[in-house]
Amino acid sequence: MHYQGDYYWGYYMPTRSIGSDPMERVVKLASEKAVVIFSLSSCCMCHAVKRLFCGMGVNPTVYELDQDPRGKDLETALMRLLGNSQPLPVVFIGGKLIGAMDRVMASHINGTLVPLLKEAGALWL
């Protein structure tokens, strides 16, 4: 798991993304890495989803929106995307939206998660 961002002006910022529309930023960030998780550092369910991927041997890219200066905008954009007042954590695999925790779990149980991970190059067996 690694936290994305350049050290710029004294704090971490997502690269190449100054001034863009939040939704665009979301899409861009989601497609840059195989597994992308938008999270809150204090959220326990976010911790659970991170543990799930780590337990599977996957190395997800995590964006802690409470530590991002424009995290609130991203969160709002995700809210609109998911139609949910509590959008975090949310997972993208291979640039595709998987969903919140319940969708991630469902896809893992019904066996669709692992193939997606493999397809995105996040998992080797």
Partner 1 sequence: MANHRVGETGLTDSGPSSNHHHHHHNIPYAVLHGMNVPQSFMHQEGPAFDFGELEEAIVLQGVKIRNDEAKPPLFTAGRPAATLEMFPSWPMRFQQTPRGSSKSGGESTDSGSGVNTISSKTENQVEPESPISKKTSSLDQQQQVDMASDISRTGTSQNQSAAAKTPQEKRRGSTSEKQLDAKTLRRLAQNREAARKSRLRKKAYVQQLESSRIKLTQLEQDLQRARSQGFFLGGCAGTVGNISSGAAIFDMEYSRWLEDDQRHMSELRTGLNAHLSDSDLRIIVDSYISHYDEIFRLKVAAAKADVFHLITGMWTTPAERFFLWMGGFRPSDLIKMLISQLDPLTEQQVMGIYSLQHSSQQAEEALTQGLEQLQQSLIDTIAGGPVIDGMQQMAVALGKLANLEGFVRQADNLRQQTLHQLSRILTVRQAARCFLMIGEYYGRLRALSSLWASRPLESMMSEDHSCQTTTELQMVQPSQNHFSNF
Residues that bind partner 1 (CB under 8 A): 42-45, 47-49, 51-52, 55-56, 101-102, 105-106, 108-111, 113-114
Assign 3-class secondary structure to 27-79: HHHHHHCCEEEEECCCCHHHHHHHHHHHHCCCCCEEEEHHHCCCHHHHHHHHH
Minimum distance from residue 9 beta carbon to partner 1 (Å): 31
Pick 97 or 105: Cβ nearer partner 1: 105
Pick 43 or 79: Cβ nearer partner 1: 43
Q: Maximum distance among all alpha carbons in the chain?
A: 45
> Phi and psi dihedrals of 112, rounded to 5?
-90, -15
Minimum distance from residue 51 beta carbon to partner 1 (Å): 4
Minimum distance from residue 107 beta carbon to partner 1 (Å): 9
> Phi and psi dihedrals of 49, rounded to 5?
-70, -35
Pick 69 or 115: Cβ nearer partner 1: 115
